[in-house]
Amino acid sequence: MAPPTLSSTLSPTLPRVPSPPPAARQPQVRLAEPLAGHWHGGDAFRTHLFNALSLMFPQGERSFIDTVREFLPHLAAEPHLRAQVLGFIGQEGTHARVHRGYNERLAELGFVDRLQARLERRIGLTRRWLRPLDRLAITVAYEHYTAVLAANLLANPAVLRGAHPQLALLWGWHAVEETEHKAVAFDVYRRCGGGYLRRLAAGLYASFFLALDLLVQVLGLLRDDRQRASPRAVLRSAWNVYFGPDRVAAALWRGFMHFVRPGFHPWQVDNRADVERWLHAHAQAFAASAPTLQPAPSAPS
């Protein structure tokens, strides 16, 4: 299937995408056994690329929740957007909790999270030195990259081909929910007066740190791995992921070019059909879970 494309003529107003508030699902996954090996088709690089993302999610998602939550008091006259924010908080909170369990299992297996302290320091510095709207712009940029990777995963079967079914379910679920709430932080940013230049600066910031953090984390995981992969196999796999059938480099580049357009809005890439297809194919996996998970009652009103 062709990757999603951005319309060449951008609407100056927000697209009218019918969007009920995103609901958090509870995936029923068993990760302990598959995480002990190279769960992605026996491929060390692919396995650790996803493991690296998992290691970074809980801190990142917690910081996104905190940032967006700060703007809830400004949305009293916007009940639709406020409901979207509460749905966003419910989904990201569930993601952070599930990925903490994933990461605890990685720690039991001897994999070290090399970035935890550094990320904590960086998040602390942004809270100290940047204004809330600056931090919201950074959240918008990271949410965009997450949505770009999610869109590629949902549209391109090569991304999870060969993965253990439990992990494929987990990553598909996360990609679906990232897509469902991909415009929430963006819409809050726009409603609260966020402009283009601040968003552009945040896009450059997120591009730099996402690339750097992923590199550090993946190299560390490969070093910790007792099932040593040859450098040649790792490089071949990395090439395939970025430039081969997974088309990750093209997806990221296209995503960056979309983000730097002044009139950009996340739903100009309308990939709801991919979400529907995935949910239809995996309806059984969520049959036993509650249809929605309400956000914490402590959320300020």
CA pair distance 31, 33, nearest whole angstrom? 6
- Find the length of the chain: 301
Beta carbon of residue 273, minimum distance to Fe ion (angstroms, whole number): 20
Task: Give 203's DSSP letter.
Answer: H
- Residues 109-148 contacting Fe ion, CB under 5 A: 143
Q: What are phi and psi of 38, to 5 degrees?
A: -80, 85
Beta carbon of residue 233, minimum distance to Fe ion (angstroms, whole number): 30
Beta carbon of residue 62, minimum distance to Fe ion (angstroms, whole number): 10
Tell me the number of residues near Fe ion by CB under 5 A.
4
69 binds Fe ion (CB under 5 A): no
48 binds Fe ion (CB under 5 A): no
Q: Which C-beta is closer to Fe ion: that of 119 or that of 229?
A: 119
Q: Which C-beta is closer to Fe ion: that of 45 or that of 171?
A: 171
- Residues 169-198 contacting Fe ion, CB under 5 A: 178
Beta carbon of residue 92, minimum distance to Fe ion (angstroms, whole number): 5
Contact window for Fe ion (CB under 5 A) among 70-78, 93-101, 237-245, 266-274: 93-101
Beta carbon of residue 22, minimum distance to Fe ion (angstroms, whole number): 9
Q: Which C-beta is closer to Fe ion: that of 92 or that of 274?
A: 92
Q: Which C-beta is closer to Fe ion: that of 97 or that of 236?
A: 97
Q: Which C-beta is closer to Fe ion: that of 143 or that of 246?
A: 143
Beta carbon of residue 272, minimum distance to Fe ion (angstroms, whole number): 16
Q: Which C-beta is closer to Fe ion: that of 92 or that of 213?
A: 92
The tokens for 105 are 């299992």
Q: Which C-beta is closer to Fe ion: that of 178 or that of 187?
A: 178
Beta bridge partners of 163: 40
Q: What angle do CA 257, 261, 262 make, to 5 degrees?
A: 165
95 binds Fe ion (CB under 5 A): yes
Beta carbon of residue 87, minimum distance to Fe ion (angstroms, whole number): 11
State the residues that interact with Fe ion by CB under 5 A: 92, 95, 143, 178
